[in-house]
Amino acid sequence: MLRPLALVAMWTATVAWSVALVSDDARAQGSIERPWLGIAMDAEGPHPAGPGVRVGHVVRGSPAEKAGVREGDRVVRIAGNTVMRSADVVQTVAGYAVGDSVDIAFVRAGKEQTARATLAAFPSQDQMMRMDLVGTFAPTWKDVEVASGAFPPSIASLRGRVVLLDFWATWCAPCRVVIPKLDDLQSRYGAQGLSVLGVSTEDTQDVALFARRIAMHYGVASDRHGSTSRTYGVVSLPTLVVIDKRGVVRDVSIGYDPMGEARLESTVRSLLAEPAATN
């Protein structure tokens, strides 16, 4: 079973979204915005092609994306400083302020290119996931194993239905509060076209046992290697992704907010009332 520390360890292969940290002193002052570049980088270690670190992901609408940086690029210099590891990027960006521009040298298809990015203020996790997902077709899940109920093979097989995709864990207290509420939505709106699905990075047997014990009445899958969680950019639990009948992400929420329950149900009803998806 993956506990909180193990979940954190899952992301050590990526310097998640914090590619623009400022110093502890600056954070303590509380008046300095953290500059943000918007890329996630591969794990530490020498790159087989030479100096630099591979870009594992670029947040949609981020300074890096606007500058033309793409997933798979190898960043070799930033602001003139040679990059040997991901921490070099973090430390360099931390020396700048929101609104400053930095030059990024990267290698793509064997050729070095240069782009200039204007650093933005570091968004919240909710804001970042919304930037990355809302308005795009939901990524398909991969490398998941059905633990309980009916879990469809792909998001494409759910076209025409509204989907609530919940990333959760058995040890997560807020998740345990959310699950019965999602179960209730499934019970009341399932016949009208709602599909609630749960994804956990824990072992399949542990997830199945928990689902039986609390009587979860919707499909649950184990994402034991974290492939789908990483694809969706999940870094906190619970994370709920709302997907419409066309397969487009319409909202993302992180954590549990009792004030948001009515809004979620209103969103579900609104999406169910939309015309069915057409090919």
Catalytic (active-site) positions? 172, 175
In the 8-state DSSP scheme, what is residue 159?
T
Instruction: Supply 199's token pair.
Output: 């994804």
Helix axes 261-273, 173-189, angle to 10 degrees: 30
Instruction: Supply 13's token pair.
Output: 């292969």
Instruction: Supply 259's token pair.
Output: 């004030």
Instruction: Supply 22's token pair.
Output: 């400022």
Measured distance CA(41)–CA(54) in Å, rounded:
6
Measured distance CA(60)–CA(90) in Å, rounded:
19
What is the three-class DSSP state of 266? helix
